[in-house]
């Protein structure tokens, strides 16, 4: 029996997505779990997997279409099955790119005579994939002057690579014969000395707010204006954990080495078992205490932040947490996150320790009840039994929603988390 594939909801605030491209064409075989299409949301380009196996009977939307969440986008049928009364049937028309090709010329080939026209989105920006935008920013390429070969004239990676390959090489500097050194004349005392060096003329730069930056701003404003935050900071003795991590990492290959954040994820998930109000969300007049400890991890991207999610972290080993997080971070930075990478977080961690940040506070990620801000591990002087000695310390700050929890409960959570971090053997049990 035919199955309808709908535009997925990839986040609680997602209302629509752009179908970037079909990975599997009409009439082609597809397996359950195989990538069917790429969807661009406000946050990233996501690979959408098929929930059924069979033949892609029909694409119900075209590449480049902006589609509301829940709208049917494709039909998967059994081989030889005839499907009638297709929902919102819209036969895929030949793309502008294909129409622009001369007969016999392969799609995607750009000629000097007939090239696809670069179109703009509803905000007036040149249509381009996230990867193409990053490459253009890195190499200083003006996207509005690049001919796109993607769906609807969209600029994609190959277009940026074509521009880079066609760019003329810079001429080598001319070699001049050095002049014989001449002693500089003595400075005359009467010579005028300028008051200051003239500054070069500099102009203001203006850049449109991209979608990711806009959605971050919108959500953070809502969070700070609608959620009554309160904050608690604790200092943790990290000597034992850092020693244990060093022992592990000396036995592990480079790609499997553990980070401090891996320990933080595991310890936070274990502590949340005892404090369900910090692993909760407010829905109407009800507090929903989540049964899973799904830890969201803030990932820095070039144009903002994205939260990837380590599901059921309290039941996973440190090695598995490390592997999953590395893979999700890699996909996020490549603009290829999967729906499950960014869905379902119940508590978040924002770690800026790798940037030598000692202490900061984070804004709660709605609809969660709390977020943990983690600073860097520093060697500092500490006093033990009246003696000053070097020690390793780390500061962490909890931001919590006062509608769901209170200071005493949050403080006990921080004590429990601190105990796991200072006695890291407990994390391994």
Q: List, as one string, the DSSP characters of 239-292.
A: HHHHHHHHHHHHTS-GGGPPPHHHHHHHHHHHHHTT-GGGSEEEETTEEEE-SS
| pLDDT tens-digit readout, 8-44 | 887 666 778 889 899 999 999 999 989 999 888 766 7
| pLDDT tens-digit readout, 247-260 | 999 999 999 999 99
C-beta separation of 245 from 377 below 8 A: no
C-beta separation of 77 from 57 below 8 A: yes
Position 94 scores a pLDDT of 36
Position 209 scores a pLDDT of 80
C-beta separation of 343 from 309 below 8 A: yes
Structure confidence at residue 112 as a pLDDT band (50, 70, 90): very low
| pLDDT tens-digit readout, 265-321 | 999 999 999 999 999 999 999 999 999 999 999 998 877 788 999 999 999 999 999
Q: Which residues contact 333 (CB under 8 A, 6 or more apart)?
A: 299, 301
Distance between CA atoms of 150 and 162, rounded to whole angstroms? 13
As assigned by CATH, the class of the 97-165 domain is few secondary structures
Pairing of strands 295-301, 347-351: parallel
* Residue 53 C-alpha from the chain's centroid: 30
Judge whether residue 83 has pLDDT over 80: yes
Between 331 and 194, name the one with better pLDDT: 331
Structure confidence at residue 106 as a pLDDT band (50, 70, 90): very low
Residue 19: how many CB atoms within 10 A of its CB? 23
Position 357 scores a pLDDT of 96
DSSP string for 22-78: ESS-TT-EE-TTSEEEEEE-SS-EEEEEPSS-EEEEEE-S-TT-EEETT-EEEEEE-
Distance between CA atoms of 138 and 129, rounded to whole angstroms? 14
Position 326 scores a pLDDT of 96
Between 187 and 109, name the one with better pLDDT: 187
Active site residue 292: no
- For the chain, what are the domain ranges? 3-93, 97-165, 215-428
Q: What angle do CA 64, 67, 73 make, to 5 degrees?
A: 90
Position 334 scores a pLDDT of 85
Judge whether residue 182 has pLDDT over 70: no
DSSP string for 151-206: GGG-B-HHHHHHHHHHSPPPPPPPPPPPPPP-PPPPPPTTS---SSPPPPP-----
Q: Which of 229, 292, 359, 402 is catalytic?
A: 402
Q: Is 215-428 CATH 3.30.559.10? A: yes
Position 12 scores a pLDDT of 60
Domain range 3-93, CATH architecture: Beta Barrel (2.40)
| pLDDT tens-digit readout, 116-175 | 344 555 445 677 776 777 778 777 888 888 888 776 677 877 788 788 877 655 544 554
Residue 157: how many CB atoms within 10 A of its CB? 14
């Amino acid at each position: 029996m035919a199955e309808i594939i709908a535009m997925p909801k990839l986040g609680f605030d997602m209302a629509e997505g752009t179908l970037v491209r079909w990975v599997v064409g009409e009439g082609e075989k597809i397996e359950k779990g195989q990538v069917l299409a790429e969807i661009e949301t406000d946050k990233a380009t996501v690979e959408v997997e098929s929930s059924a196996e069979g033949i892609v009977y029909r694409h119900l939307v075209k590449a480049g279409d902006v589609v509301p969440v829940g709208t049917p986008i494709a039909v998967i049928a059994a081989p030889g099955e005839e499907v009638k009364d297709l929902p919102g049937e819209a036969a895929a028309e030949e793309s502008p790119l294909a129409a622009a090709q001369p007969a016999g010329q392969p799609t995607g080939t750009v000629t000097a005579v007939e090239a696809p026209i670069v179109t703009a989105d509803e905000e007036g920006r040149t249509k381009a994939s996230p990867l193409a935008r990053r490459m253009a920013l890195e190499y200083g390429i003006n996207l509005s002057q690049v001919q796109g070969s993607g769906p609807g004239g969209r600029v994609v990676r190959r277009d940026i690579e074509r521009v880079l390959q066609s760019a003329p090489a810079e001429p080598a500097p001319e070699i001049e014969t050095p002049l014989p050194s001449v002693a500089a004349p003595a400075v005359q005392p009467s010579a005028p000395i300028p008051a200051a060096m003239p500054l070069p003329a500099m102009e203001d730069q203006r850049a449109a707010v991209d979608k990711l930056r806009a959605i971050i701003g919108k959500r953070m404003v809502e969070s700070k204006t609608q959620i009554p935050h309160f904050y608690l900071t604790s200092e943790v003795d990290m000597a034992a954990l850092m020693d244990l991590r060093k022992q592990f990492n000396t036995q592990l290959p480079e790609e499997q080495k553990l980070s401090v954040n891996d320990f933080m994820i595991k310890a936070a998930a274990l502590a949340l078992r005892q404090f369900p109000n910090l692993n909760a969300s407010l829905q109407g007049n009800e507090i929903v205490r989540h049964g899973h400890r799904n830890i969201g991890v803030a990932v820095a991207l070039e144009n903002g932040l994205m939260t990837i999610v380590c599901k059921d972290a309290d039941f996973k080993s440190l090695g598995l947490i490390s592997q999953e997080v590395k893979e999700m971070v890699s996909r996020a930075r490549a603009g290829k996150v999967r729906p499950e990478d960014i869905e379902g977080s119940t508590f978040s961690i924002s770690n800026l320790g790798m940037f030598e940040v000692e202490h900061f506070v984070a804004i709660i990620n709605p609809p969660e009840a709390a977020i943990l801000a983690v600073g860097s591990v520093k060697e500092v002087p500490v006093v033990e039994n009246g003696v000053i000695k070097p020690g390793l310390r780390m500061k962490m700050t909890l931001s919590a929603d006062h509608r769901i929890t209170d200071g005493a409960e949050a403080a006990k959570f921080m004590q429990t988390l601190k105990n796991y971090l200072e006695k890291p053997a407990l994390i391994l049990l």
